[in-house]
Structure 1
Amino acid sequence: MLIYEAHHFDLISNYHTLNLNFPSHLHRGFELLFLVDGEMEVIIRQKSYQLKTGQFLLILPYEIHSFSTKSHSRANICIFSPDYVPTFQRMIENSSLENPVFNLSNEANTLISRTLFKENSNLLEQKACLYLLLAELMGQTSLIKGDKQDPELLHKLLTHVQNHFTESISLKSIAGTLGYSYNYLSKYFNTHISMSFVDFLNETRVNYACHLLIYTEKNITEIAHLCGYESIRSFNRNFVKIKTCTPKEYREKQPQSFMDLYPLEPEIYINNSNES
């Protein structure tokens, strides 16, 4: 599964996790993780990093990543907007980090522990600590230049689908709305999402249907229409193709998954065909 977390946009958010396991997802904000205790595997762009107690890790905006804990982990996470660190955001444009795992000096660790990962901290102190942390990170790694990207377009596309997937939409209609050519958006989807727009839309609709099947008593025909399908036959065909069972069978199984902890809205759930 791939999750688009649209709500991480212009905020700074802190989370304290225990034995974190979370599937592939992406968002506009930077994500800083500090492993307080234990071990954790973090996969970024299909590359695995083994995080140990006391280490930090930084995930850049729109990088697809996931977390996995085999035995035990306790971590603090801070997700912050690129607008908080514009100088660094310009530095990393069209780049990735050679190694996102790093350590902090004792002086920086003491200062940052008082400010980050806490609610209601002073905003100026938070920004100052972020730049100090990023300076120490760049002293331990380097940037790898990549192809020119348009991350804001990715946000626009995913947000548009999120807001309109229950309606009759197409890539051509979105191209007209956003002012891009159909061919450009089609190539963009295949490059960044690793699937066609039609598959993307069907994955989004079917996974929303799963949410409704589990948490509501609506009948299957009503759910099909609520998810944007005009034909129950088309709904059933796509559901079986994606979930390898019928909607009725899925409801009877009552699967317990990460969706129990992380509600569907305001996120998009899709399969990631490149995920191992």
Structure 2
Amino acid sequence: MEPVRKNFESLPDFPFSLTFRDTKTPQNELPNHFHDWYELVYVHSGKGSFFIDRTIYEMRRGDLFIIPGNTIHRAFPDKEEPVTSTALFLNPLLLEQPSLGEPFTYMQCFDQSRKNRVFKTACSAELQIDIENLLNHIEAELRLQKLGYRHAVLLNTQRLLLEINRDRNHGKQQKGHSSFKGPNWVRDILLYIDNHFTEDIGLSSLCTIASVSPAHFSRVFKQLTGMNVTRFINVKRIVYAKELLLETEENVGTVSTNCGFESLPHFHQVFKKIVGVTPNQFRKQE
């Protein structure tokens, strides 16, 4: 199954969405997906695993996952004790604000997650209480829609991100390498792909590096990440292609080559299948 590009139904002036206390099951959980919006996932109860970018994390009560835009991810709820979680989605434009003379932005926690490639935070008891209270306030405002409810949602979201940033700034975030859930060879292969996805790599060469058979590699990789290795590499390439299309003036052919695609038609085909538009259309609409 190809990764899904999640879309949101929201008003242009209020790019925000909340999925409150949703109990995940293997049947109703989204397949691998990514989106431009930024996402917080807080675990209220249950257990499972969460594949984000290149790491497989355990999910437990009190865990917080901080997921920047265009980061591929998928949750795998436990069959016996499925996860109940709240997911908060927002467009960064919602939180643009003046600096007020200090080096702080509400998006710092997302920037740190992207830079350090660590997406899980083990919350302190105090932060868990703050998060649950603020999420309750946000849900009530969205449900009751009293006068100024969008402003109230924004204020509570700002306070939520402020508390998360303060907690992380005190060095309480969990290290990513100690969170990995799965065989060491899978961890090593995910790191290898992350460093070499623009090169000519495939199942055969990766099996040699991992010292496992193709059948075993394919079964375990898909079980832990939700997709086969070819699709995973393609998604990595397309996310990188989006960055190049937005941040450089390179033509589409050069972007295709720099991302590791053998031909321009294949790049167009894969890009449109994952993003929903052609590379040129994506560049123009952004």
TM-score between the two structures when normalised by the length of structure 2: 0.50
Does 1:119 pair with 2:139? no
Say if 1:96 and 1:143, in contact at 8 Å, map to a contact too. Answer: no
Q: 1:129 aligns with which of 156, 163, 173?
A: 156
Say if 2:121 and 2:174, in contact at 8 Å, map to a contact too. Answer: no
Say if 1:57 and 1:101, in contact at 8 Å, map to a contact too. Answer: yes
Offset at residue 134 of structure 1 (A): 2.1
Structure 2 distance, partners of 1:195, 1:42, is 32
The DSSP-based 3-state class of the residue aligned with 1:22 is coil
Cα deviations by residue, 1:112-165 (Å, 9 ceiling, x for unpaired):
321148635522222222222223333233999xx9xxx89728979xxxxxxx
Structure 2 distance, partners of 1:6, 1:189, is 25
Q: 1:100 aligns with which of 120, 124, 135?
A: 120
The DSSP-based 3-state class of the residue aligned with 2:71 is coil
Cα deviations by residue, 1:161-194 (Å, 9 ceiling, x for unpaired):
xxxxxxxxxxxxxxxxx9642354215644xxx8
For structure 2, the residue ranges without an aligned partner over 5 or more in a row are 97-104, 177-194, 196-238, 278-286
Does 1:36 pair with 2:44? yes
**Structure 1 residues 107 and 59: alpha-carbon distance in aligned structure 2, compared to 1, 3 A threshold:** closer
Structure 2 distance, partners of 1:12, 1:114, is 15
Q: Which structure dedicates a bigger proportion of its chain to helix?
A: 2
The DSSP-based 3-state class of the residue aligned with 1:88 is coil
Structure 2 distance, partners of 1:83, 1:118, is 21
Q: 1:22 aligns with which of 25, 30, 49?
A: 30
* Correspondence for 1:219: none
Say if 1:8 and 1:29, in contact at 8 Å, map to a contact too. Answer: no
Say if 1:76 and 1:117, in contact at 8 Å, map to a contact too. Answer: no
Offset at residue 49 of structure 1 (A): 1.4
Offset at residue 27 of structure 1 (A): 0.7
Say if 2:241 and 2:256, in contact at 8 Å, map to a contact too. Answer: no
* Correspondence for 2:217: none
* Correspondence for 2:83: 73
**Structure 1 residues 205 and 27: alpha-carbon distance in aligned structure 2, compared to 1, 3 A threshold:** closer
CA RMSD for the aligned pairs?
A: 4.2
Say if 1:43 and 1:67, in contact at 8 Å, map to a contact too. Answer: yes
TM-score between the two structures when normalised by the length of structure 1: 0.51
Offset at residue 110 of structure 1 (A): 1.9
Structure 2 distance, partners of 1:54, 1:142, is 12
**Structure 1 residues 188 and 113: alpha-carbon distance in aligned structure 2, compared to 1, 3 A threshold:** farther
Say if 2:138 and 2:157, in contact at 8 Å, map to a contact too. Answer: no
Report the residue type matching 1:4 in the other structure. R
Superposition pairs of residues 88-237 of structure 1, within 5 angstroms: 88-89=106-107, 92=111, 95-96=115-116, 98-103=118-123, 104-116=127-139, 119-120=142-143, 122-138=149-165, 139-140=167-168, 141=173, 154=242, 180-187=250-257, 189-190=259-260, 198-199=265-266, 201-202=268-269
**Structure 1 residues 26 and 155: alpha-carbon distance in aligned structure 2, compared to 1, 3 A threshold:** farther
Report the residue type matching 2:252 in the other structure. Y
Instruction: Choose between structure 1 and 2 for higher RCO, CA contacts under 8 A separated by at least 6 residues.
Output: 1
The DSSP-based 3-state class of the residue aligned with 1:23 is coil
Cα deviations by residue, 1:211-239 (Å, 9 ceiling, x for unpaired):
xxxxxxxxxxxxxxxxxxxxxxxxxxxxx
Identity over the aligned pairs, expressed in percent? 14
The DSSP-based 3-state class of the residue aligned with 1:78 is strand
Structure 2 distance, partners of 1:126, 1:26, is 24
Q: Which structure dedicates a bigger proportion of its chain to strand?
A: 1
Does 1:2 pair with 2:3? yes
Q: How many residues align?
A: 184
